[in-house]
Amino acid sequence: MQGLSSRAHAFSVEALVGKPCKRMKVSEEHESSSAGDTGGDTSIFTGLNEYPVSHMKTAGSTPTRPEDASGDPERRTVRPATEEEESKPTEGDCRPDREVRAELQGSELWKRFYEIGTEMIITKAGRRMFPSVRVKVRNLDPCQQYYIAMDVMPVDSKRYRYVYHSSQWMVAGNTDHSCISPRLYVHPDSPCAGETWMRQVISFDRVKLTNNEMDDKGHIILQSMHKYKPRVHVIRHDPRMDLSQIQSLPADGVHSFSFPETEFTTVTAYQNQQITKLKIDRNPFAKGFRDPGRNRYGRTPRTPRTPRTPLPSPEGGALGLRR
């Protein structure tokens, strides 16, 4: 090819691709630009690690670095985050930045009982609570392992009795709780990641209350005719300690919560008839007591019973009648 005109030369391969020395210069500039951007990435993406790259996406956009502004495909260094990468906890996700909180579930029902004086049956064999303690926790470290536990503590050092003519509890004297060590009931799902705990309602419906001071089944030991309040504990897992084998709270890493409406008085037989009725009406396990043709104690009128004979309770044991 000889004597190409200036117009033909403009369409030659060399003009379109560029001379070797020019291409080398562009490559050197690109490498220099990449090396100079390394320090800038530290302050943008790792200096404030609360917002990792995978979390900087907005609706309808793809996360890019500052050097992508040119639109040159050869200079793009950040690819869109995959679904698997987005779901994986990052260092920023696993850093707690807010106070741990717990919310009581079913608080309206608890308040209805509290207004008339909640009573909980305790027996030698152990009796489940109704309502049961159910909570929702927030602001845990998603990557940290936690134990969730519950205990029941005395409200005061008084013993109580129920006054029927005024339908209320009155102080009957002082008592000593030091003879009974508070037991810690560890939730059977413990330990578990904070992310898992926060996704579910944590229920203590398996907790049983007993007045048997020699109990060896792990039930919570209480005294009859005393006032108590449950406490829920969120305990950071310590690899050096196995909480399932101990019955006391560690000194550090514990967040404890209590709720005024969960206060109750322990009894061996319900004293307030309003409590009996409310438990029968609201306890899902008391369906038999609501069947037509049965009285409020779960018996048909044709079956005679003496006032002192224990009757089934909504929790599945003996109701018992006051003497």
The one-letter amino acid at 67: E
Highest mean pLDDT among 56-65, 113-122, 287-296: 113-122
φ, ψ dihedrals at 186, nearest 5°: -90, 130
| pLDDT given at position 249 | 87
Q: How far apart are CA 187 and CA 235, in angstroms?
A: 11
Domain ranges of the chain: 38-95, 101-268, 269-323
| pLDDT given at position 201 | 98
Q: How far apart are CA 249 and CA 258, in angstroms?
A: 15
**Using 50, 70 and 90 to split pLDDT, how confident is the model at 206?**
very high
Of 54-58, 89-93, 225-229, which gets the smallest average pLDDT?
54-58
| pLDDT given at position 147 | 95
Of 17-26, 116-125, 262-271, 306-315, which gets the smallest average pLDDT?
17-26
- With a cut of 80, say whether residue 57 has pLDDT above it: no
Q: 202 has which bridge partners?
A: 135
Terminal CA-CA length for the chain: 122
Fold observed for domain 101-268:
Immunoglobulin-like (2.60.40)
Query: Does residue 191 have a cis bond before it (omega within 30 degrees)?
Result: yes
- With a cut of 90, say whether residue 84 has pLDDT above it: no
**Using 50, 70 and 90 to split pLDDT, how confident is the model at 101?**
very high
Highest mean pLDDT among 16-20, 144-148, 310-314: 144-148
The predicted model gives 202-227 an average pLDDT of 95
Which residue, 84, 80, 96, 86, is CA-closest to 52? 86
If you write DSSP's letter for every residue of 254-306 in order, what string do you get? EEEEE-GGG-EEEESS---HHHHHHHHHH-GGGGGGGSTT--TTS--TTS---
Q: How far apart are CA 56 and CA 267, in angstroms?
A: 57
| pLDDT given at position 140 | 97
**Using 50, 70 and 90 to split pLDDT, how confident is the model at 181?**
confident
What is the residue-averaged pLDDT of the chain? 74
Q: Pick the residue with more confidence: 292 or 285? A: 285
- With a cut of 50, say whether residue 56 has pLDDT above it: no
Angle, helices 107-116 vs 273-282, to 10°: value is 160
Q: How far apart are CA 209 and CA 248, in angstroms?
A: 18
Helix, coil or strand: residue 250: coil
The predicted model gives 98-114 an average pLDDT of 96
Of 31-35, 44-48, 70-74, 182-186, which gets the smallest average pLDDT?
44-48
| pLDDT given at position 222 | 96
- With a cut of 80, say whether residue 320 has pLDDT above it: no
Q: Helical H runs in 44-192?
A: 83-87, 107-116
